[in-house]
């Protein structure tokens, strides 16, 4: 666990991002820090990468901590919630103001070749994980907090090889609407952010590193290029701002206009 000694206003919003050590999660952390948030990020194995993100947040004058968490292990969530409560207490805080369910892995396989083990691993990370982690953290979410569930453009359009992954994201989009309805009495807003093709290391970095794939995806995107992690970081920050408070239960796609 890495803690910053940077001083910061106790009134700053505190946001938790799962899978915040790299890619979209890291970009979201930096974008939110620029918006004045203090950050808790989680990582599964990449402690050094998480430390680097913490350092970036610190350099922007915000507080930050990196905590280990495997979102596929729902049985660990009560202990994680207790650790998070202690972390917040160390900052003189008692609640989170934002939760971004971002952690994820990819499986590329045709529908015919997807195994039960592949499917179960995706359920654990992309559907069961966000469902029960959010549930476990409800006592730590402030009234009026924001929850942002990360989906994918693949829940709207189809690309061969992602049937199981996209099915999980379709499930998280339905879950978002139910959470928005059931948590509204506490003023908690819940939305889905669905990125399109992004040039990161996700899925082996194919979008970033395969020139032919990159050109194809750019050709079917209205804005003429694939996305960058900062595009999604900015979109997440926008949805968590006070001015977006009348938006809940919605799916917002940040894809540059893929397959319009």
CA distance 225 to 257: 10
Output the CA–CA distances (angstroms, integers) from residue 110 to 154, 166, 193, in the order listed. Answer: 14, 12, 25
Question: Which of 34, 226, 38, 194 minimizes the C-alpha distance to 101?
Answer: 194
Report the interhelical angle of 129-137 vs 163-182 (nearest 10°).
20
Q: Burial letters for 98-117: b for 16+ Cβ neighbours within 10 Å, e otherwise?
A: bbbbbbbbbbbbeeeebeee
**Residues designated as active site:** 165
Structure tokens, 204: 């082996």
> What is the sign of the dihedral through the CA atoms of 83, 98, 238 and 124?
positive
Distance of CA 157 to the CA centre of its chain: 20
Residue carrying structure tokens 């050094």 = 48
Distance of CA 102 to the CA centre of its chain: 2
200 secondary structure, DSSP code: S
127 secondary structure, DSSP code: I
CA distance 77 to 14: 19
Structure tokens, 113: 């070749």
Asked whether the beta carbons of 149 and 95 are under 8 A apart, the reply is: no
């Amino acid at each position: 666990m890495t803690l910053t000694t940077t001083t910061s206003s106790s009134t700053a919003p505190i946001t938790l991002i799962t899978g915040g050590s790299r890619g979209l999660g890291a970009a979201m952390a930096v974008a939110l820090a620029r918006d004045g948030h203090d950050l808790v990020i989680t990582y599964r194995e990449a402690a050094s990468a998480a430390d680097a993100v913490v350092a970036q947040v610190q350099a922007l004058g915000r507080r930050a901590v990196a905590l280990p968490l495997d979102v596929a292990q729902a049985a660990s969530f009560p202990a994680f919630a207790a650790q998070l409560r202690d972390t917040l207490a160390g900052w003189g805080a008692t609640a989170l103001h934002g939760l971004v369910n971002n952690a994820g892995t990819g499986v590329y396989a045709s529908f015919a070749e997807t195994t039960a083990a592949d499917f179960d691993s995706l359920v654990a990370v992309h559907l069961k994980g966000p469902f029960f982690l959010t549930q476990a953290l409800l006592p730590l979410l402030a009234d009026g907090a924001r929850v942002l569930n990360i989906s994918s453009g693949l829940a709207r359009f189809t690309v061969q090889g992602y049937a199981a992954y996209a099915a999980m994201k379709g499930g998280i989009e339905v879950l978002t609407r139910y959470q928005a309805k059931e948590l509204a009495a506490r003023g908690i807003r819940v939305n889905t952010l669905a990125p399109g093709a992004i040039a990161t290391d996700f899925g082996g970095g194919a979008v970033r590193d395969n020139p032919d794939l990159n050109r194809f995806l750019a050709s079917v995107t209205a804005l003429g290029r694939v996305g960058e992690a900062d595009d999604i970081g900015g979109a997440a920050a926008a949805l968590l701002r006070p001015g977006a408070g009348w938006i809940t239960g919605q799916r917002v796609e940040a894809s540059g206009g893929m397959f319009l």
